[in-house]
């Protein structure tokens, strides 16, 4: 039986034994020394091929977060993008999934404020169609309150099937043209009873 010894630079050697079987006892190393690993070296990404065995997926490949600390208002009865609150990510594979986590304090007084989450204008999830009812992910209506703000907190697992950059962001819609406040209370008076808040959109790429 032939053997190959790998010399350790600090301590210990590794010996690889090759069975003396006719026609199969030759171990060939590439002539290109760039493909041979040495101490503290890394395997080139181009040399990594294949896929994980079944049941070994689910690794978090990257995390991206967008934040907004300033206030935003809208009185539009059409869906309106919340300015300055988004997160963009470029998936490394078309089979990757994107875990979207969104937290947005928002308020409306006397009428309803609707909110939803989108990917580049594509609605990710909304309630079923039911007559004239507004389809959304959530809604807020603080009757009789000027100092409250509800928090839109949602988690959604998306399958974008792309390796292009994609952007996720929330949109709001007013029921009757009254003011929707994001990161603020509805009245927003300048005293300690009224608050200012912050919003986040967090994206996790999950390997298949």
**Backbone φ/ψ region at 158: left (φ over 0), alpha (ψ -120 to 50), beta:** beta
Over residues 2-30, mean pLDDT: 56
Over residues 109-138, mean pLDDT: 92
Whether 45 is covered by a domain: the verdict is no
Domain count of the chain?
2
- Do 191 and 125 belong together in one domain? yes
Structure tokens of 129? Answer: 């169609």
Share of the chain above pLDDT 70, in %: 71
Residue 175: Cβ within 10 Å count:
16
**Per-residue pLDDT at 78:** 96
- Do 154 and 103 belong together in one domain? yes
**Per-residue pLDDT at 33:** 47
**Measured distance CA(56)–CA(10) in Å, rounded:** 34
Whether 50 is covered by a domain: the verdict is no
CB 108 within 8 A of CB 140: yes
Residue 13 reports pLDDT greater than 70: no
Tell which wins on pLDDT, 147 or 183: 183
Q: Band of the pLDDT at 130, cuts 50, 70, 90?
A: very high
Q: Band of the pLDDT at 64, cuts 50, 70, 90?
A: very high
- Do 94 and 28 belong together in one domain? no
- Do 93 and 141 belong together in one domain? yes
Tell which wins on pLDDT, 202 or 35: 202
User: How would you label 27-58 residue by residue, b for 16+ Cβ within 10 Å and e otherwise?
Assistant: eeeeeeeeeeeeeeeeeeeeeeeeeeeeeeee
Nearest CA-CA partner of 145 in 193, 105, 98: 193
- Do 32 and 68 belong together in one domain? no
Whether 48 is covered by a domain: the verdict is no
**Per-residue pLDDT at 57:** 64
Question: What range does the domain containing 108 cover?
Answer: 60-206
**Per-residue pLDDT at 4:** 56
- Do 28 and 87 belong together in one domain? no
Whether 70 is covered by a domain: the verdict is yes
Q: Band of the pLDDT at 128, cuts 50, 70, 90?
A: very high
Tell which wins on pLDDT, 62 or 1: 62
Query: Which residues on neighbouring strands pair with residue 100, listed in sequence order?
Result: 156, 203
Whether 44 is covered by a domain: the verdict is no
Q: Band of the pLDDT at 108, cuts 50, 70, 90?
A: confident
Q: Band of the pLDDT at 40, cuts 50, 70, 90?
A: low
Tell which wins on pLDDT, 4 or 149: 149
Residue 143 reports pLDDT greater than 60: yes
- Do 182 and 109 belong together in one domain? yes
- Do 34 and 107 belong together in one domain? no
Cα of first residue to Cα of last residue in the chain, in angstroms, is 42
Q: What CATH number has the domain bearing residue 126?
A: 2.60.120.1340
Over residues 81-90, mean pLDDT: 97
Over residues 21-29, mean pLDDT: 53
Residue 95: Cβ within 10 Å count:
14
Residue found under tokens 């990710």? 124
Tell which wins on pLDDT, 148 or 95: 95
């Amino acid at each position: 039986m032939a053997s190959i010894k790998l010399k350790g630079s600090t301590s210990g050697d590794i010996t690889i034994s090759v069975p003396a079987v006719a026609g199969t006892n030759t171990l060939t190393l590439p002539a290109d020394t760039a493909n041979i690993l040495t101490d503290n070296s890394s395997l080139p990404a181009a040399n990594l091929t294949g896929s994980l065995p079944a049941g070994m997926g689910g690794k978090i490949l990257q995390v991206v977060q967008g934040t907004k600390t300033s206030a935003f208002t809208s009185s539009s009865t059409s869906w309106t993008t919340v300015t300055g609150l988004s997160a963009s990510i470029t998936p490394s594979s078309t089979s990757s999934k994107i875990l979207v986590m969104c937290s947005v304090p928002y308020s409306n007084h006397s009428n309803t404020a609707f909110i939803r989450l989108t990917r580049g204008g594509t609605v990710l999830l909304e309630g079923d169609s039911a007559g004239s009812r507004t389809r959304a992910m959530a809604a807020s209506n603080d009757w009789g309150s000027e100092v409250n703000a509800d928090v839109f907190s949602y988690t959604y697992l998306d399958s974008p099937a792309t390796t292009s950059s994609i952007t996720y962001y929330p949109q709001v819609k007013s029921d009757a043209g009254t003011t929707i406040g994001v990161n603020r209370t509805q009245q927003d008076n300048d005293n300690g009873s009224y608050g200012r808040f912050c919003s986040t959109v967090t994206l996790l790429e999950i390997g298949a």
